[in-house]
Structure 1
Amino acid sequence: MEGSEPEVLTSSLVLGAATKHEFINTGDIIFQLIMFIILMALLKKFAWGPLMGIMKEREAHVANEITAAENSRQEAKKLLEEQRTLLKEARTDAQGLIESAKKQGDLQREEIITTARSEAERIKESAKLEIEQQKEKAVTAIREQVAQLSVLIASKVIEKELSAADQEKLINDYIQEAGEGR
């Protein structure tokens, strides 16, 4: 039973406390209310004011960041348009250069063809002239040989009187000798 005594004491204290607080203490409530109002005033002055200042600074900072990001986006968009314009101009210039190179190549090709044709014509004319000269030399050489043969035949004929068959044989022999000597 000794163990039950502390329980009795504890329960009587709890009951005594419950009966003690059955009435409302207005002085404590007013004191706590005044303390709460003082605490709120202090919080407003020392915590809420600076906290709101920090929040306003943060809000201004975020707004500035949003503005800066928007400006950067606009700047990037502007630069992108400029780059597209420059790229388009570069393509146009490149196309112009290609066309110019094609035209220059065509002109050079035509010039080379014209030069080659004129050179071929000159070589052809030169070859014709050389052929003509060689032909004249050959004709001159044949005339000289014919003249020599004629003189030789005439001298042979004069030296000896020949019959028609002998003359024919003699002419054929000399012609054959002339052909072999050539």
Structure 2
Amino acid sequence: MNVLWENIVITMIAFGILYWLLSKFAFGKLFAIMEQRRELVRTQLEEAQQTREQAAVYVEEQKEALKQARQEAFEIIEQSKQSSSKQAKDLLEQAKIDTIRMKNEAVRDIESERMKAVEALRGEIGAFSVDIASKLIEREVESNPAEQEKLVNQYLKEVGSKS
């Protein structure tokens, strides 16, 4: 194998010229495009980081809002329980009051009806007493009228004390 130094020198000169042409016309634009790409990637990474941080903050805010909503719901449920318990208690108390009132009215009505019945009986007894007295008078014309009145009054007193 023969090494031709002339070929090596020519190749090196051609490579140098190619490098100089590339650096003059291509490398600047290529490096500028690569720099733009690098900046774009860096910007996108920063934006992604900011978005990630914002998302984390938003998630924390949502967790806090959910926690508050649960607490408010629990408080509302507790208030509802207390309110319904109070309403039930009030209804029972009102029912007791109504029952007592109705009982008292019924007792008054019964007492009124009893008094009316007693008065009616006294009236009937008075009428019967008059009938009895008149029959006694008819039978015993000879007996003493004061004695008969005394008997009628005594009878009325006995009947009045039994009712």
Asked if TM exceeds 0.5, the reply is yes
Counterpart amino acid of 2:36?
E
TM-score, normalising length: structure 1: 0.70
Question: RMSD value over aligned CA atoms?
Answer: 1.9
Residue of structure 1 in register with 2:114 after alignment: 135
Moved more, 89-98 or 110-119: 110-119
| Structure 1 moving runs of 4+ over 4 Å | 22-25, 28-32
- Deviation at residue 34 of structure 1 after TM alignment: 2.8
CA deviations 1:9-38 (Å, max 9, x no partner) are xxxxxxxxxxxxx89583x76455333312
- Deviation at residue 54 of structure 1 after TM alignment: 1.1
Q: In structure 1, list runs of 5 or more residues that go unmatched.
A: 1-21, 162-182
CA deviations 1:46-80 (Å, max 9, x no partner) are 11221121112111111111111111111101100
Whose relative contact order is higher, 1 or 2, with alpha carbons under 8 Å and at least 6 apart? Answer: 2
Question: How has the CA–CA distance of structure 1 residues 138 and 85 changed in structure 2, closer, same or farther, with 3 Å as cutoff?
Answer: same
The number of residue pairs the alignment matches comes to 139
Residue of structure 2 in register with 1:48 after alignment: 27
TM-score, normalising length: structure 2: 0.77
Question: How has the CA–CA distance of structure 1 residues 23 and 42 changed in structure 2, closer, same or farther, with 3 Å as cutoff?
Answer: closer
Q: In structure 2, list runs of 5 or more residues that go unmatched.
A: 141-163
Matched residue of 1:133: which SS? helix
> Is 1:114 equivalent to 2:73 in the alignment?
no
CA deviations 1:97-120 (Å, max 9, x no partner) are 111111111111111111111111
Tell me the distance in 2 between the aligned counterparts of 1:35 and 1:132. 138
Larger Rg: 1
Residue of structure 2 in register with 1:154 after alignment: 133
Residue of structure 1 in register with 2:17 after alignment: 38
Q: Percent identity?
A: 37
Tell me the distance in 1 between the aligned counterparts of 2:3 and 2:51. 69
CA deviations 1:116-167 (Å, max 9, x no partner) are 1111111111111111111011011111111111110111222235xxxxxx
Tell me the distance in 2 between the aligned counterparts of 1:80 and 1:24. 72
Matched residue of 1:105: which SS? helix
Counterpart amino acid of 2:48?
A
Tell me the distance in 1 between the aligned counterparts of 2:119 and 2:77. 62
